[in-house]
Amino acid sequence: MSANPLFENRVESVGPWHGETRVGVKWSVYEGDALAVLKTLPEKGHNCCITSPPYYWLRNYGVDNQIGQEETVTEYVKAISDVMSQVYRVLKDDGLLFLNLGDTYYSGKGQSQGLDRKSSKRRFGLRAVDKSGGVGVGMQRKSIIGIPWRVAIEMSSNQKWVLRSAIIWHRQYCLPEPKRLDRPRRNYEHVFMFAKTRKYYFNRQPLLRRNVDEDVWTIPARPKQANGVDTAPYPDELVQRCMEIGCPEGGSVLDPFAGSGTTLRVALESGRPATGVELNPNFCHYIVKELNKT
Ligand SMILES: C[S@@+](CC[C@H](N)C(=O)[O-])C[C@H]1O[C@@H](n2cnc3c(N)ncnc32)[C@H](O)[C@@H]1O
């Protein structure tokens, strides 16, 4: 809990919230739909965007206008790429976007996902889409849909993004899949590195220090515990690695799907100002509380 009584009042509002760390690094949190909020932000204001949008039909965040529950894959791809077109606008010309996406299997068993405890846990692309009407891609049941690449190709073909790397995040120690599987277990997700233009800020030194990692990053899938705020967070180290190579010191970082605020917290800890957008008011309040401690 914050010691600041003003802060306690502020978290009851719908924001936006602005603050700064003890050493004067600024942050902002906006509550609302990513597309709508980004449209209100000035262009070319951020050096780097690091984000993990909701995956397709993997979990229900329980709020209206959430992305990830679209009837068809095409609608989902459009929803993500529409947000990314605004990210493009608000990034500086030499800026980078790191977009973490996981895949989904199509099971077609005829049941929509519920809000039960089990199905609300993130299983990194393991949960099948259970929609009897299909997901609009004409695939056979049990197929992996190929969501990350569908989004990446849309962004690099129909928008101006330059897709520079398809980093594999090897999720060490991730949640186990069911024991009886008729396919290899999934141990990775994608982190696509997009540049706004062909000339952009990039620092190779951290990759050289790591010697072998380059575009396969082995990072334990153990995010910081967020006090019951279950946003399917990614680990701090993933954000650190993106920032080290893709954001200059003191450069500003954006996360339009802020969740529990991992991106913002890690950015601020490194002395970089940070801006987040999040649709779920409870998550926003959690982020603001945490950032007020930095
Ligand atoms: C995978 S989580 C992000 C987790 C985050 N990286 C973290 O470490 O906590 C995706 C987030 O997007 C939010 N979200 C869903 N639809 C949204 C929308 N239309 N605009 C903004 N946020 C949205 C969800 O509430 C959820 O918190």
- Which tens digits make up the pLDDT trace of 175-186? 777 667 888 888
Domain that holds residue 108: 16-291
- Which tens digits make up the pLDDT trace of 108-126? 664 434 333 443 444 444 4
What is the identity of the amino acid at 69?
Q
191 lines ligand 1 (CB under 6 A): no
Whole-number Å distance, alpha carbon 210 to ligand 1 midpoint, is: 30
Residue at 105 is within a domain? yes
Whole-number Å distance, alpha carbon 50 to ligand 1 midpoint, is: 12
Residue 79 belongs to a domain with what CATH number?
A: 3.40.50.150
161 lines ligand 1 (CB under 6 A): no
Distance CA 281, CA 260 (A): 11
Instruction: Report the share of the chain in percent with pLDDT over 70.
Output: 85
Mean pLDDT of the chain: 87
Residue at 176 is within a domain? yes
- The predicted pLDDT at position 166 comes to 98
Residue at 11 is within a domain? no
Residue at 47 is within a domain? yes
Dihedral of CA 234/237/240/245: which sign?
negative
**17: Cβ contacts below 8 Å, ≥ 6 apart:** 10, 11, 28, 29, 284, 288
Residue at 227 is within a domain? yes
Backbone dihedral angles phi then psi of residue 285, each to the nearest 5 degrees: -65, -40
247 lines ligand 1 (CB under 6 A): no
Candidate from 56, 61, 189 with most ligand 1 atoms within 8 A of CB, to mutate: 61
- Which tens digits make up the pLDDT trace of 260-289? 999 999 999 999 999 999 999 999 999 999
pLDDT at position 248 over 90: yes
- The answer to whether the beta carbons of residues 131 and 112 sit under 8 Å apart is yes
Total count of domains within the chain: 1
Residue at 287 is within a domain? yes
Q: For 6-15, 134-143, 243-252, which range has the lowest pLDDT when averaged over its residues?
A: 6-15
Q: How far is CA 226 from CA 26, 47, 74, 144, 283, in A?
A: 22, 27, 32, 30, 10
Candidate from 31, 122, 231, 286 with most ligand 1 atoms within 8 A of CB, to mutate: 231
User: Which residue did the predictor score with more confidence, 161 or 127?
Assistant: 161
